[in-house]
Amino acid sequence: MKRVLIIFANDLRRRLKSPLSILLMLAIPLVMTLVIGGVFGRSGKVEMTKIRLLVFDADRGLGGRFVRQGFEQGKLAEMFELVPVDSIDGFDLMAEGKASALLVIPRGFTNDLLDRRQTALKLIKNPSESFNPIIAEEAEPLKKTRSMLSADKWPALGDMQVLLDEAKIPFTQVEGYIGDSLVTLGSETAADTARAGGNAGSSGFNIFSYVMSGSLMLGLLFTSNIMLNDIVREKRAGTLARALCSPIGTGHVVAGKVLSVYAVTAIACLLLLVVGKFAFSMDLGDPAALAAHTAASILMCTGIMTLLFGIVRRERAADAIAPVVIIVLAMLGGSMLSFDMFGETMQRIGKFSPVYWANDGFKKIMVFGAGTSDISRNILVLAVIGLASLVPGALLLGTGFRKGG
């Protein structure tokens, strides 16, 4: 371990002595956040207004109530202002620019759920607004309602407690409803409200958190890229060969190098989050969730880039290929254009990008206030991808070292 730490400490010292390239890379997500956040964030104001969501509850049952209660708790309560409307007249409020979206809970929603019939929530988005309707669509209560009755995993009992208590339904009875996808969310944009703009209410949602949660990964991938590119440069400079001639051994050199990639990427991430916190007043959410998700996301970055540099060993090829891979993964994962703006097909494809899972997790933590259990799937996916790419990547790097480059 001491030998690994010698390599690791030296790389870290070198990077600290010459941090410019990484700082420039970190400027990418910061500038993106500043520009996009500034454009959508109302003349650069940090705090966005509360998102006004109209709810037309035709069901008036427990299911509909459960959905509404989701918006009235915790961080979402700060972000959303729920306005019950008696009828579909809510369209008029959107047309007047007084709401971002209208959620329609259909008649018989609760009964349909309990009778295992297909049912659908409908979200009608205000086309004159950019982000707020999407955020409403992304909101956890809507997702949770769907996942609770369709998910391949049993939801936390606490999540269902209110519903179960009020309905006086024994747990065993509810269990029978789990498994099939019974609830779908239909969303559409109200064409006749296009002329309206703006929304009303008070603060709660930070647009910078929303943008940074996506652009963060771009900076981290490029940071990992710089660190691994340094290994290629070391090959040219002869320092790598010299280290490999020492009694330290190839395995220790590879481990030290990979560890330094991870550490420097983690420092870069910390730096971005600190800047986000103090410069953009971002809410970083639950520290435990953020730490766990960040660790997994950096593992993914390190793994993917190690594998790439394990395969592509020549400096010129690495210079050409790595940025393309990063940009494609980041684009598909929603780092440049919000994933929520993708069409259905692109969303399906985008989920194959590991960056999606990282972005999605950061968004859940920093925008919707999710805890560790809410993002456990993201963490698992990222950790698996990270390890699955890191191990062969490190082996390939070592093989390349032994072959003299």
Partner 1 sequence: MIEVNGLRKYFGNVKAVDGLSFGVKEGEIFGFLGPNGAGKTTTISMLSGLLRPDAGTITIAGMEMSGGGGKARSIMGIVPQEIALYEELSGRENLHFWGSLYGLSGARLREETDRVLDMVELSDRADDPVGKYSGGMKRRINLCAGLIHRPQIILLDEPTLGIDPQARIRILDIVRKEAESGTTVIYTTHYLEEAESLCKRIAIIDQGRIHAEGTLAELVKLVGEEDIVTITGDFRADAFPALPEGTRIDRIADGTARLVVRDHGAVGSMLSGFFSSGLRVDTVAISEPNLQGVFLKLTGKELRD
Q: Which parts of this chain interact with partner 1 (CB under 8 A)?
A: 3, 6, 10, 13-14, 17-18, 237-239, 241-249, 402, 404
Give least dist CB 239 to partner 1, A: 5
Closer by beta carbon to partner 1, 7 or else 273: 7
Give least dist CB 245 to partner 1, A: 4
Give least dist CB 369 to partner 1, A: 42
Give least dist CB 5 to partner 1, A: 10
Closer by beta carbon to partner 1, 15 or else 50: 15
Selection from 315, 266, 263 nearest residue 14 by Cα: 263
Closer by beta carbon to partner 1, 155 or else 405: 405
Q: Which residues lie below 8 Å from residue 303, measured CB to CB, with a gap of 6+?
A: 385, 386, 387, 388, 389, 390, 393
Cβ neighbour number for residue 166 with a 10 Å cutoff: 12
Give least dist CB 246 to partner 1, A: 4
Give least dist CB 393 to partner 1, A: 22
Closer by beta carbon to partner 1, 303 or else 400: 400
Closer by beta carbon to partner 1, 4 or else 196: 4
Give least dist CB 403 to partner 1, A: 8
Closer by beta carbon to partner 1, 220 or else 240: 240
Selection from 50, 109, 60 nearest residue 86 by Cα: 60
